[in-house]
Amino acid sequence: MSEIINVENVTYRYDDEDQRAALQDVSFSVTKGEWVAIIGPNGSGKSTLAKTINGLIEPDNGDVTVGGLALNEKNVWSIREMVGMVFQNPDNQFVGSTVQDDVAFGLENLGIPREEMIERVRDALDKVNMLEYAEREPARLSGGQKQRVAIAGIVALRPAIMILDEATSMLDPQGREEVLRTVKEVKEQENLSVLSITHDIDEAAAANRVLVMRDGQMIQEGTPESIFSYGEKLIEMGLDLPFPERLKASLKKQGIDVPQDYLTEEGMVDWLWTYVSKK
Amino acid sequence: MMEKLIFGRYIPGHSFIHKLDPRSKLMGAIWFIIIIFLANNWLTYLALTVFVLTAVKLSEINPKFFINGVKPLIWLILFTVILQILFTSGQTIWFRLGPVVISQEGMLNGVFIFMRFVLIIFMSTILTLTTMPLSLTDAIEFLLRPLNAVKVPVHEIALMLSIALRFVPTLMDETEKIMNAQRARGIDFGEGNIYQQMKSIVPLLIPLFVSSFNRAEELATAMEARGYKGGEGRTKYRQLAWENRDTIVMIAFGLLSVGLFLLRT
């Protein structure tokens, strides 16, 4: 599989005076069509890392390559065409005066002809199920709907990579689920690579691979299953415990011998009924 | 809070005036304000009144809204009218008391000024009630475009205008939230003398400013991430369409102007 993002030994300091670098010697790569989640406590450098990928931040040291192009002054706009970013606050990234204007904003920037723009806007809004809201103004949308419009704005650009920078953190559980489902569907349809930065356990569980950051360093890497098997240590990593882990911890307190490996909800149900029937 | 704002008081509809291109409406309204100063006798004012009432009728909007548009300004209008009546001297003097003179000319002048005010308000009300704020910014951008030649950043002005409009309701919501949060901490808004009232605004104003700065930064980052690099090489999603009815309206304005020229004394 081909690598679409490659970050090598990236170091970045917001302020030269700073003792601690926001990113210290970070290296990782994402292959095409992969969903990678980056987790870590606040201030661990996750968002900074996301911004280095589309050139919003220029690293002090190290190389970033996106889709075969090295990130530099010359390539930055071509790279931004490949990378779509959805940010945290749905209100502050809504540029257009109506839903369709906002989706069209990125296309206007690229100088796409109007006929194609109309078609792409419709198509993108249809993909996120917001077509009937095309004429609405942002003030009349819910947070989840605004985030879906932000996703549509990215989908319309047909990027190869979508970065979600805590895109679900300001939403209620329903809106969060809605947005994640939308991203999953779009990812399958368009074979996108997704890089999601999150504190949300479900979002991390949906990923193919999880990277853990702390104090600007990449400290762990693995499948969600292997990361979730850290149990209690997950809280230090800035994540919540998944429900099966919480159940296991409570059972352990009752003196029940539980398996060490991470179990999904179905796995937990299987284990529970075998355990009960053996008794 | 939103109801008090003039912007966004757009009333959706499908009348002849609603369907007009915002450019023709904006140009018409501005032109009307210029030519109204040509009028100086009964006939010209009659022509203008007939013209405005026809437009009101065509907009299919409840006349109540127009009366409401005049209401907040009524004291200013009456004040100006009364000053005109009292201090215009003329040939046919009806009453004199020191510097105060009531003459036939003064009376007439007062009535004309009253009509001038009302007609201008009616015309601009037609514009704001039948045009979406969004279309208005499009029209402003189009009409300012010639200024590009003298290095006026028209695209930037239009972008700022449309972002400003888009954030009006968002900032209103936030103002309300901060006010309530500060009330919960014991701040009385609108209480006490002027000095105290001004002082109580500070805990509202500063957080609002700070959050606007943060908003601006986040918005700029999001715009850049979506490939915004300035006005050059951009295409436009919204397009204005000039149709026959717009030409008809322009012709009507032309005829009105010529008519005023001929009828004025």
B156 and chain A: CB distance < 8 Å anywhere? no
Percentage of chain B beyond pLDDT 90 is 43
Helices then strands (H, E): number in chain B? Answer: 9, 2
Check CB contact under 8 Å for A87 and B239.
no
Q: Kindly state whether B211 is in contact with chain A, defined as any CB-CB distance less than 8 angstroms.
A: no
* pLDDT at residue B4 is higher than 70: no
Q: How far is A114 from chain B (nearest CA, A)?
A: 6
Q: Which pLDDT value is given to residue A18?
A: 67
Q: Is B170 in Cβ contact with A109 (below 8 Å)? A: no
The residue extents of the domains of chain B are 16-131+241-264, 153-226
Question: pLDDT tens across B50-85, in order?
Answer: 999 999 999 888 888 888 888 888 999 999 999 888
Residues from chain B that touch A96, judged by Cβ atoms under 8 A, are 166
Find which of B155, B175, B237 to mutate to test the A interface (most A CBs within 10 Å of its CB): B237
* Predicted local distance difference test score (pLDDT) of residue B12: 75
* Residue of chain A with shortest Cα separation from B217: A92
For residue B9, the model assigns a pLDDT of 66
| Per-residue confidence (pLDDT) for residue B63, from 0 to 100 | 87
So what's the pLDDT on residue A122? 94
Interface contact flag, A137 B169, Cβ < 8 Å: yes
How does residue B2 score in pLDDT terms, banded at 50, 70 and 90? Answer: very low
Q: Is the CB of B165 inside 8 Å of chain A's CB atoms?
A: yes
What are A193-211's pLDDT values in tens digits? 999 998 888 888 889 999 9
pLDDT at residue B133 in the model: 79
Which pLDDT score is estimated for B47?
A: 92
What residues of B are in contact with residue A110 (Cβ under 8 Å)? 227
* pTM of the entire predicted model: 0.81
pLDDT at B49 > cutoff 90: yes
Separation of alpha carbons A168 and B208, rounded Å = 25
Report pLDDT digits (tens) over B151-163: 999 989 988 988 9
Per-residue pLDDT band at B3 (split at 50, 70, 90): very low
Average pLDDT over residues B170-199: 89
CB B246 within 8 A of CB B23: yes
Q: What is the pLDDT of residue B7?
A: 45
- The two tokens of residue B111 are 């009535």
The fraction of chain A above a pLDDT of 70, given in percent, is 98
**Is the Cβ–Cβ distance between A222 and A188 less than 8 Å?**
no
- Token duo for residue B208: 């609002």
The percent of residues above 70 in pLDDT, for chain B, comes to 97
Q: Measure B220 CA to nearest chain A CA, in Å.
A: 8
pLDDT at A1 over 60: no
Handedness of CA B72, B75, B79, B84 (dihedral sign): positive
Taking an 8 Å cut-off on Cβ atoms, the answer to whether B227 and A98 are in contact is no
Q: How does the average pLDDT of chain B come out, rounded?
A: 87
pLDDT in tens, B199-230: 889 999 999 999 999 999 999 999 999 989 88
CA distances for B82 relative to B74, B111, B117, B179, angstroms: 12, 10, 14, 41
Q: Which residue of B has its CA nearest to A157?
A: B226
Residue B5 has pLDDT above 70, yes or no: no
pLDDT at A215: 85
Kindly list the distances between the CA atom of residue A244 and the CA atoms of A201, A227, A272, in Å, as whole numbers in the listed order.
12, 14, 11
Residues of A with CB under 8 A from a CB of B: 51, 54, 56, 77, 80-81, 83-85, 87, 89, 91-98, 100-101, 104-114, 117-118, 121, 137-139, 153-154, 157
Distance of CA B238 to the CA centre of its chain: 23
Q: Does B171 touch chain A (CB under 8 A)?
A: no
The Cα A175–Cα A169 span in angstroms is 10
Contact A56 B221 (CB under 8 A): yes
Rounded average pLDDT over B253-265: 91
What ipTM was estimated for this complex?
A: 0.85
Establish, for the pair of chains A and B, how many residue pairs have beta carbons separated by less than 8 Å. 94
Q: Look at residue B116 in the predicted model and tell me its pLDDT.
A: 93
B222 with A87: Cβ contact below 8 A: yes
Question: What is the residue type of A108?
Answer: E
Chain mean pLDDT for chain A: 87
Which stretches of B19-132 are assigned E, i.e. beta strand?
A: 93-97, 100-103
| E strand or H helix that includes residue B80 | helix B74-87
* Domain annotation for chain A: domains and CATH numbers: 3-93+159-240 (3.40.50.300), 242-278 (no CATH)
